[in-house]
Amino acid sequence: MRFEATPLPVTDFDRAKAFYQRLGWRLDIDITVAGSRRIQFTPPGSPASIQFAPAGADRLQRLLLVVTNIEAARAELVDRGNEIGEIWHARPGQAPEPGRDPEGRSYVSHAAFSDPDGNQWVLQEVTERIPGRV
């Protein structure tokens, strides 16, 4: 069994579609079935996707995107015209500090951004996986 996709609440499918295209994500489908529009995107290198869903009051917070180089990933998204927060790292039990983790530890360095509907995405640098993770 594997995780394939998650619904992502959006208020305007076309605006959200333009946003995720600007991120460089692959558009998998954009179809209308029985009067219901379905749009699915997949981040580069990811086995899992997002599927747009009509928005209610809920927003998704802290959806994680794993990258192997936080600085390069952030720079690529900024170069594509996206607003991405500055890189920060968090040591266990301490407040977040600006910049990439000086020790280069996995799961510690982050940068965040939100889509037009307020769904928050967090880039997380992982260069060495936790044992047992694929």
pLDDT for 14-52, tens place per residue? 999 999 999 999 999 999 888 889 999 999 999 999 999
The answer to whether position 75 is within a domain reads yes
CATH number, position 23: 3.10.180.10
Per-residue confidence (pLDDT) for residue 1, from 0 to 100:
55
Whole-model pTM: value is 0.81
Q: Look at residue 130 and tell me if it is in a domain.
A: no
> What is the pLDDT confidence band of residue 132, given thresholds at 50, 70 and 90?
low
Query: Could you give the strand order of the β-sheet that contains 36-42, starting from the edge strand earlier in sequence?
Result: 5-10, 49-54, 36-42, 26-33
Residue 48 lies in a domain: yes
Residue 54 maps to a domain: yes
Share of the chain above pLDDT 70, in %: 96
- Once rounded to an integer, what is the mean pLDDT over residues 52-67? 84
